[in-house]
Structure 1
Amino acid sequence: MEKLQVPKESSTLKNWPINEDWASVLAGGGVILTVLFLFNISSPSYNWTTGPEFLGIISNSENIFRLLAQLVLVLVFSSIAAVLIGKKIQHFAFTFLGVFLLTQLALLVAGSGVARQFNLEAVIFSLSFGLLIGNLFNLPEWFKKNLATELFVKIGLVLLGASVIFGDILKAGSLGLIQALVVVVSVWYFAFWVCKKLKVDEELQMMISSAVSICGVSAAIATSGAIHGDPKKLSYVISMVLITAIPMMLLMPLAAEWMGLSQEVTGAWLGGSIDTSGAVVASGSLVGEKALQISTIVKFSQNVLLGIAAFAISVYWTYTQTPEGQHYEKPTLGVIWDRFPKFVLGFLGASILFSFFIETEIYNEVKGGLKSFQNLWFALAFTAIGLETNFKDLIQESNQKPLFAFLIAQGFNVLITLGIAYFLFS
């Protein structure tokens, strides 16, 4: 059975002591500095209603120049980050161009009059196109290994910091941290209990519990590293996280609208329930700007707990699960820093920069370009998620118990997070 390719957050070149989080901070920071001090690239236009308007968009020289300029800048900084985390530049560049072209198709479809009428975002189409191609065609192994999904998400999140006022982070972040603490502890223990009841093996128990309760893919990867887990099991957990995030991303905003929830409550609910940062951003975007900000801040509050959780899991696993005759290095406080999601620092840094050091006039001039790059990186990430997601992984008989445990825990997560979000943010 072909397994989903796992984003390797700790993959590095020997001569480059840098992980994926720091690479995303450097790439996002480079884009911000380029737009601020070198040149500001206007966003290409994708909106069209009639056939002639569509032909005008794809043939307009100014629009093509904007598109090519955006391609060059995104390719350059993505490639720098990819090289820093150990990817081969030639393979990454070819993969990136394929993902970029497919994403541009999604942006054009999302710019149609019908899509805009129903408020269908580009990430929905980029995800759908990726899923269609990824499951209908056998993609080369080198292509899958260079999709860099998590890297794209993290670069986009660093850029998102430029649009979030720091005062809002302090105000909503405190509530988000309270919510994160309650949700993470309660959901983690519930998921662990369900896994034990269904007799899921111990490695999967830890990975599933962390993935559901903390922050999805990143938590699963951190937990697997903390317990020296089986990569095949980690691959399966990530498959479940990515696939279940798709309907949650689309249906939860509709459910929030049906229940009449405010954008603040909806954002807190989305940020605390959905397991991937990219899906949180996409679903928050479907609701509104305020929901996007709150959902991102709440998700970051959970991400902050990842280092603490990884440390606690390391201690537990080291002292209770070390195989006889095998010695694991004893965990130290350095584990917390090693597992801390560094791209959060990039997000905060961008927010501080534009909140306190950049004049309002300058910010108003560049915010459109930065927003365009942010949206593009998120769309690239969801195209990549679709391309690397294989539905066959979920229908294997041996995987049914972990799947049931994951779905039950996720249902509990959605319900308890809704109650806590309403209590704190209403």
Structure 2
Amino acid sequence: MASASNRWWIHEDWLAVWLGLATLIVVPLGLRPALPAFKWASTTALGGLFNAANLQTSLILCAILFVMALPGALALGAKAGKFALGFLVVFALSWLAQLIAGNSTMAYWGIEYVIFALVLGLLFSNVIGCPAWLMEAVRTEYFIKSGLVIMGATILFQDIMEAGVLGMLQAVLVVVVVWYFSFWLCRRLKLDDEFSAMLSTAVSICGVSAAIAACGAIHGDRRRLSYVASVVLIVAVPMIVIQPWLIKTMGLSDVVGGAWLGGTLDTTGSVVAAGSLISETAMKMGTIVKFSQNVLIGVAAFLLSVWWSMKSGNGNQPKASARVIWERFPKFVIGFVAASLVFSFLVDPAVVKATKGTLTGLRTAWFALAFACIGLETKFTDLLTMENGRPFFAFLGAQTANVIWTLILAWLIFGGMFFAVPKI
């Protein structure tokens, strides 16, 4: 029998890579399952989502995801029967979360499906309780990392260039400065490196998606990930209203205002919502800048994983050697980067365009499953009492610094002082 070290291909990270890459092979080849509809604005429209066709589409998607996840789950020790039953419950919670988030009001305020998946999972685990058979399907890391590999195929080199040199310049300056300040502030408030890294990455890059990548890169605590995701989305709501009002009050141009929104609001949905309160130009500029920050997720995950692997262990354990760095390195990053490069340079652009919607939908499905799982394995008391509120104050302090620093950068870069104002 092969030793555990020789069976590297069934490590959770590699299993996620295999699942993600399998998706990225079959979808371009033509296997593109229909995705359920979730958008609705009235009770009549909501009732329409429960028609036979949409429910059938949902069940087919559930079956496809189950079949794709089953081999990896079995390799990780799950029992097939219990995993199947548990997967139905997890999928139902994730489906309901996406349905709630599909409401037009929720979309307008940028409240995303991840928070509803987390809340529904928390309610289920804390009110009903999670039997052992259900926990067989709670495979948070496996689902998250699979979604991240698929996500790589939607972040393309060509899009980075279209985002503009100025947008990328602001993104790099925001990410570097805000990340280091946030990390410093977290450590001053006596948060450990793990919590500090996840929170700093969320503040400086793009909120929930960045926090997910950071958690995977450092093998972080999923309860802390759920906390960071919740704080990101809660703080974003008042900012959607306050920032457009400040932009108008200060007399900022639409381009500068949009760049400020894109650099500070932590979800793309919230950027679009806030930008729409100003103008079409502000909304487009904000989206471009936010995308420029989004493309840095892979870079951040890679650097975080190397840094985390090189940290000293407990006691007198020396810093990791090159071999230990490789063993600890999250292999999903390899899948993420490979997917981005292949879809950027080797896949026909027409195929890339045709598959983007399907791949984005499948990525969302895996993320929704993952956050439902986080809720299922978390207790309310863990979130309410975590670190005596210090992470919340650290986030507010870091976000305040982010707002001020990004405003300065947006004014310098897009205000016409040093560079030509982009025509949006």
TM-score normalised according to structure 2 size: 0.72
Secondary structure (helix, strand or coil) at the match of 2:138 reads coil
Contact kept, 8 Å, 1:107 with 1:122, in 2: the verdict is yes
Residues 1:414 and 2:399 aligned together: yes
Pairwise CA distance, 1:390: 1.5
Over 3 Å counting, the alpha-carbon distance change for 1:405 and 1:338 in structure 2 is farther
Pairwise CA distance, 1:352: 2.2
Letter aligned with residue 322 of structure 2: L
CA distance in 2, matches of 1:343, 1:113: 34
Alignment RMSD (CA, Å): 3.8
Q: Which of 9, 31, 40 is matched with 2:32 structurally?
A: 40
- Partner of residue 26, structure 1: 18
Pairwise CA distance, 1:309: 2.2
Deviation by residue 1:166-191 (Cα, 9 ceiling, x = unmatched): 14457677865665544444433443
Sequence identity (%): 27
CA distance in 1, matches of 2:48, 2:192: 54
Contact kept, 8 Å, 1:177 with 1:301, in 2: the verdict is no
Contact kept, 8 Å, 1:307 with 1:337, in 2: the verdict is no
Contact kept, 8 Å, 2:309 with 2:325, in 1: the verdict is yes
- Partner of residue 81, structure 2: 90
- Partner of residue 259, structure 1: 243
CA distance in 2, matches of 1:136, 1:104: 19
TM-score normalised according to structure 1 size: 0.71
- Partner of residue 192, structure 2: 205
Letter aligned with residue 239 of structure 1: R
Letter aligned with residue 67 of structure 1: S
- Partner of residue 242, structure 1: 226
Contact kept, 8 Å, 1:47 with 1:113, in 2: the verdict is yes
In structure 1, list runs of 5 or more residues that go unmatched: 1-11, 196-203, 226-233, 272-279, 323-327
Residues 1:143 and 2:134 aligned together: yes
Residues 1:380 and 2:372 aligned together: no
Secondary structure (helix, strand or coil) at the match of 2:192 reads helix
Deviation by residue 1:325-345 (Cα, 9 ceiling, x = unmatched): xxx476212333333333233
Pairwise CA distance, 1:94: 2.4
Residues 1:187 and 2:174 aligned together: no
Deviation by residue 1:14-43 (Cα, 9 ceiling, x = unmatched): 845443332222111111211111422122
Letter aligned with residue 186 of structure 2: A
Contact kept, 8 Å, 1:163 with 1:367, in 2: the verdict is yes
In structure 2, list runs of 5 or more residues that go unmatched: 203-210, 245-255, 275-282, 414-424
Contact kept, 8 Å, 2:121 with 2:374, in 1: the verdict is yes
Letter aligned with residue 372 of structure 1: G
Contact kept, 8 Å, 2:217 with 2:329, in 1: the verdict is no
CA distance in 2, matches of 1:408, 1:222: 24
Pairwise CA distance, 1:120: 5.0
Residues 1:313 and 2:317 aligned together: no
Over 3 Å counting, the alpha-carbon distance change for 1:423 and 1:85 in structure 2 is farther
Residues 1:161 and 2:152 aligned together: yes
Over 3 Å counting, the alpha-carbon distance change for 1:128 and 1:349 in structure 2 is same
Pairwise CA distance, 1:142: 5.2
Q: Which of 80, 97, 110 is matched with 1:106 structurally?
A: 97
Deviation by residue 1:110-151 (Cα, 9 ceiling, x = unmatched): 445665666654334333322322222221255346422232
Pairwise CA distance, 1:407: 3.3
